[in-house]
Amino acid sequence: QKEVEQNSGPLSVPEGAIASLNCTYSDRGSQSFFWYRQYSGKSPELIMFIYSNGDKEDGRFTAQLNKASQYVSLLIRDSQPSDSATYLCAVIINAGNMLTFGGGTRLMVKP
Amino acid sequence: DTEVTQTPKHLVMGMTNKKSLKCEQHMGHRAMYWYKQKAKKPPELMFVYSYEKLSINESVPSRFSPECPNSSLLNLHLHALQPEDSALYLCASSQATSGGGTQYFGPGTRLLVL
With an 8 Å Cβ cutoff, is A108 touching chain B? Answer: no
Cβ-Cβ contacts under 8 Å between A and B: the total is 58
What is the pLDDT, as a whole number, of residue A28?
Answer: 87
Average pLDDT over residues A33-62: 96
Q: Which of B44, B98, B109 to mutate to test the interface with A (most CBs of A within 10 A)?
A: B98
Q: What percent of chain A has pLDDT over 90?
A: 85
With an 8 Å Cβ cutoff, is A97 touching chain B? Answer: yes
> In the structure, what pLDDT confidence band is assigned to residue A96 with cuts at 50, 70 and 90?
low
**In this model, does residue B98 exceed pLDDT 70?**
no
Residue A6: burial class (beta carbons within 10 Å; 0-12, 13-18, 19+):
buried
CB contact under 8 A, A44 and B106: no
Q: How many CB atoms lie within 10 A of CB A46?
A: 16
Q: Where are the beta strands (DSSP E) in chain B?
A: 4-7, 10-13, 18-25, 31-37, 44-50, 53-57, 64-70, 73-79, 87-94, 104-105, 109-113
> Which of A86-95, B37-46, B60-69 is the least confident region?
A86-95
Phi, psi of A110 (to 5 degrees): -100, 130
**In this model, does residue A98 exceed pLDDT 90?**
no
